[in-house]
Amino acid sequence: MEIQVSVVIPVYNAENTLKNCVESALKQDLESFEVILVNDGSNDSTSKILEQYNVNPKVMIFHQVNMGVSAARNVGLSHASGEYVFFLDSDDILDDGMLSKMYQFAKKNKIDLLSCWHKEPDTTQYGGNENSSASFIAITKEEIGHHFIDIFPRSVCAKLFLRKRIVENKIVFPTTMSLGEDMSFVYQYLMVARSIAVIDGVYYNIQNVNPESLSKRYVTNIENSLLIQNQLWNQLLEVYPKIEESYYKQHMDFRFYLASVYVNNLFKFDSPYSSKEKLYQINQQIKKYRLFLDEKVSKEKMPKNINEMIAFYLLKFKIPVLIYSFYSFKEWWKRRRFKNEG
């Protein structure tokens, strides 16, 4: 029987969450699916946990030296044989019956990219709230552009990708990017997708909100990653002009987003910079991007929430000490809240 869905799980030091993650995948009630686990050089007890699944015919396990999440996902992709591919992070879990609901919807409606809702601890997150309907099917370029933001394009998780499109267009995760590799993959895929959709009532459960998790760590070589993101964004706008209108319903000017990501990275808990060095880096960025920081921003590209608004105006005013103070407080508050909740 043809494999319907390949579930690709990159794994790195996931001893505390891996079992729940894999079990949630294996409990799925699809007729035919495979789970591909790629151990990215873990140095905790991850390898021992993975050994438990060696005898399961649905599971494939690969080990590699630590090369990063993009390389691990690419290994998983290269071994996938399913009609669709689903990426699952090792600290997240799937709702029961989730993959069969998504697969049946995608098959019935001939969908290339199908996204579902995200659920975080104590909340339900997607482009709305639990009581609103975000479901849609988009086929034309205008429709896809209009609904671009609704598929949560900054993450590859919680999505079914038609593998045929990935293979035909040689889409891979960029291993030279240290940030935004998910966005890069989704953007590449959207450029060739013939249909996208969101399904209601299906949830991808995000478990790890620890501020010290991998996604919250300091990122090296970030400027290269932001440059690639900007290039892909411009390419995407050429294919789907309507995307810009969709994006700015929820987000501020893309260039200010990139600038705020750079500054935010300086204040991650494991940042190698001293206070003095952080101030110096902020000054350098202000000098480098002074031209666009001085530009007038149109109303539709203005910030949409309080955090973005503060970051936006601090960057616009170009006062390094205020920028430093805001991001220092933001990181401190995030860690304090997690500690209290834990």
**pLDDT tens by residue, the chain, 342 residues:** 899 999 999 999 999 999 999 999 999 999 999 999 999 999 999 999 999 999 999 999 999 999 989 999 999 999 999 999 999 999 899 999 999 999 999 999 999 999 998 877 655 444 333 434 468 999 999 999 888 888 888 889 999 999 999 999 999 999 988 888 999 999 999 999 999 999 988 888 887 654 444 455 678 878 888 888 889 999 999 999 888 888 887 777 888 888 888 898 898 878 899 999 999 999 998 888 888 888 888 888 888 888 888 888 988 999 899 999 999 998 888 777 766 655
- Here the tokens at position 95 are 């709702």
- Here the tokens at position 64 are 């590699």
Distance of CA 252 to the CA centre of its chain: 18
What is the reported pLDDT for 64?
A: 96
Q: Are 158 and 117 in contact (CB under 8 A)?
A: yes
**Please, which residues have CB within 8 angstroms of residue 143's CB and are 6 or more apart in sequence?**
none
**Please, which residues have CB within 8 angstroms of residue 235's CB and are 6 or more apart in sequence?**
187, 191
What is the reported pLDDT for 342?
A: 54
What is the reported pLDDT for 205?
A: 86
What is the reported pLDDT for 339?
A: 67
> What amino acid occupies position 303?
P
Burial of 283 (0-12, 13-18, 19+ CB in 10 A): middle
Q: Which residue's structure tokens are 């729940």?
A: 20
**Please, which residues have CB within 8 angstroms of residue 186's CB and are 6 or more apart in sequence?**
151, 153, 154, 155, 156, 159
Sign (positive/negative) of CA torsion 298, 143, 147, 223?
negative
Rounded to the nearest 5°, which phi and psi values hold at 162? -65, 115
Please, what is the angle between helix 306-317 and helix 254-266, to 10°?
90
Rounded to the nearest 5°, which phi and psi values hold at 59? -110, 135
What is the reported pLDDT for 209?
A: 52
- Here the tokens at position 9 are 């799980």
User: What SS3 string covers 207-228?
Assistant: CCCCCCCHHHCCCCCHHHHHHH
Q: Are 51 and 42 in contact (CB under 8 A)?
A: no
State the Cα–Cα distance between residues 329 and 310, nearest whole angstrom.
Answer: 12
Domains, in order of start, for the chain: 5-214 (3.90.550.10), 251-341 (no CATH)
Please, what is the angle between helix 320-341 and helix 275-288, to 10°?
130
